[in-house]
Amino acid sequence: MEHEVMKNPLIVELELLRVNFDRTTEKLIKDIQRHEKIMTKADKRQKQEYDELQRKFAEVEALQQEIEETQKEVIFTMGSIGESRSKETGNHVRRVAEYSKLIALHYGLCEHDAEMLKQASPMHDIGKVAIPDAILNKPGKLTPEEFEIMKKHTELGYDMLKHSHRPLLQTAAIVAYEHHEKFNGQGYPRGLKGANIHIYSRITAFADVFDALGNQRCYKPAWKDEAIFNFFHQE
């Protein structure tokens, strides 16, 4: 009995330690649970913010796509306006666009640049909207004076497009300005020679002439393929 009494202080101390341990453990568990709740709320808020950003990003992406598609439609429409005034077939600008991309890819341009040229090339003759109908649709050969007026369409087209900061319209401005330059320096309006002519302009010029020769115009019948190829070999 005396021995049991002597053990009581130890038992009491152990009991106190156990109680303190239980309380500490309980407090720790509550702290962890409270922290988990806080983290859960934070995670939920972060997920909501992330989902909102994703939604806004998707909206911006869709809007950008719509702007690009609208821009393409505007360019084809404007190109068709110049074409319709000269009584050319309605598909000329679209054929030139397709030819330009094919030639660009064959030349070695990347897909992005080739597609850029395809979208810009329909504007090559936009300056013709400012050329008088009597000259634009004359069924015979132009006089030297009339030809000088006709040549102005390159500069007029460039002036219409050069102020834009959009890469597509900047490309269209270059094409409009230089698509009548010739590799030998005998073209217009600036008499550029060789590599000084932008590759976009050289490709569009080739596509434009190829399609023009192969289709009937008010001043000539359609050429046969052999005659077209001979023409390019001579040039």
**Does residue 35 lie in a domain region?**
no
C-alpha span between 207 and 151 (Å, rounded): 19
Residue 15 CB coordination number (10 Å): 10
C-alpha span between 147 and 219 (Å, rounded): 14
**Can you give the pTM of this predicted structure?**
0.66
Structural domain containing residue 117: 51-234
Would you state the pLDDT for residue 219? 64
Residue 157 CB coordination number (10 Å): 26
> Does residue 128 have an active-site annotation?
yes
**Does residue 132 lie in a domain region?**
yes
Would you state the pLDDT for residue 9? 63
Query: Distance of CA 170 to CAs 56, 117, 231, Å?
Result: 29, 11, 31
Would you state the pLDDT for residue 235? 67
CATH number (domain holding residue 212)? 1.10.3210.10
C-alpha span between 232 and 73 (Å, rounded): 32
Give yes or no for a contact between 125 and 147, defined as CB atoms under 8 angstroms apart.
Answer: no
**Does residue 8 lie in a domain region?**
no
**Does residue 66 lie in a domain region?**
yes
Distance, first Cα to last Cα, the chain: 126
**Does residue 19 lie in a domain region?**
no
Q: Tell me, what DSSP letter sits at residue 142?
A: P
Would you state the pLDDT for residue 203? 97
**Does residue 25 lie in a domain region?**
no
Would you state the pLDDT for residue 229? 77
Taking only the tens of pLDDT, the chain with its 235 residues reads 444 445 566 566 666 766 777 777 777 777 777 777 776 766 777 777 777 777 887 887 887 777 777 777 777 777 766 666 655 555 788 899 999 999 999 999 999 999 999 999 988 998 988 899 899 888 888 999 999 999 999 999 999 999 988 888 899 999 999 999 999 999 999 999 999 999 999 999 999 988 888 877 666 777 877 777 777 777 6
Catalytic annotation, pick one of 37, 56, 128, 182: 128
Count of the separate structural domains present in the chain: 1
**Does residue 98 lie in a domain region?**
yes
**Does residue 153 lie in a domain region?**
yes
